[in-house]
């Protein structure tokens, strides 16, 4: 499992090398905050080709087994990702403009195998 280094700075782009399925994978990320809907969106970009792989994934928590934000993209073999809560907020709270990477973390892991 790998914690993606997020900030609350809107419209940020950054790169990471993430261990996925036994290999180091270079990915880039775009992070935006939707002021009207009040949630964060994540864009996943191939770190080698700079092509957008997935655009506008809402960073909201789900109930297991549906907590994996990348479940529907399993065929891409880019791992799995979940929002993990650490703090004193209610169990149904989602990251907001101020508490991303303070009380909520994006944790990336291997691709789920069905």
Instruction: Say how many Å lie between the first and final Cα of the chain, rounded.
Output: 18
Element (H, E) at 57: strand 52-58
Residue of 79, 95, 78 lying closest to 87 (CA atoms): 95
Does any domain span residue 15?
Answer: yes
Residue range of the domain that includes 68: 2-109
Pair of tokens at residue 92: 């149904």
Does any domain span residue 57?
Answer: yes
Does any domain span residue 73?
Answer: yes
Does any domain span residue 75?
Answer: yes
Does any domain span residue 81?
Answer: yes
Region 2-14: mean pLDDT is 90
Q: Which residues contact 19 (CB under 8 A, 6 or more apart)?
A: 2, 25
Tally of domains within the chain: 1
pLDDT at 27 (0 to 100): 97
Does any domain span residue 114?
Answer: no
Pair of tokens at residue 55: 């655009």
Region 8-26: mean pLDDT is 93
Is pTM beyond 0.85 here?
yes
Does any domain span residue 43?
Answer: yes
Residues 43-59 have pLDDT tens digits of 999 999 999 999 999 99
């Amino acid at each position: 499992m790998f914690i993606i280094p997020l900030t609350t700075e809107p419209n940020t782009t950054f790169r990471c090398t993430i261990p996925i399925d036994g290999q180091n994978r270079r990915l880039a990320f775009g992070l935006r905050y939707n002021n009207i809907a009040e949630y964060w969106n994540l864009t996943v970009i191939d770190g080698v080709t700079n092509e957008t792989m997935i655009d506008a994934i809402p960073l909201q928590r789900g109930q297991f087994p549906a907590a994996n934000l990348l479940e529907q993209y399993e065929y891409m073999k880019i791992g799995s990702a979940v929002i993990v809560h650490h703090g004193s907020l209610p169990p149904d709270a989602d990251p907001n403009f101020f508490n991303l990477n303070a009380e909520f973390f994006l944790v990336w892991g291997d691709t789920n195998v069905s």
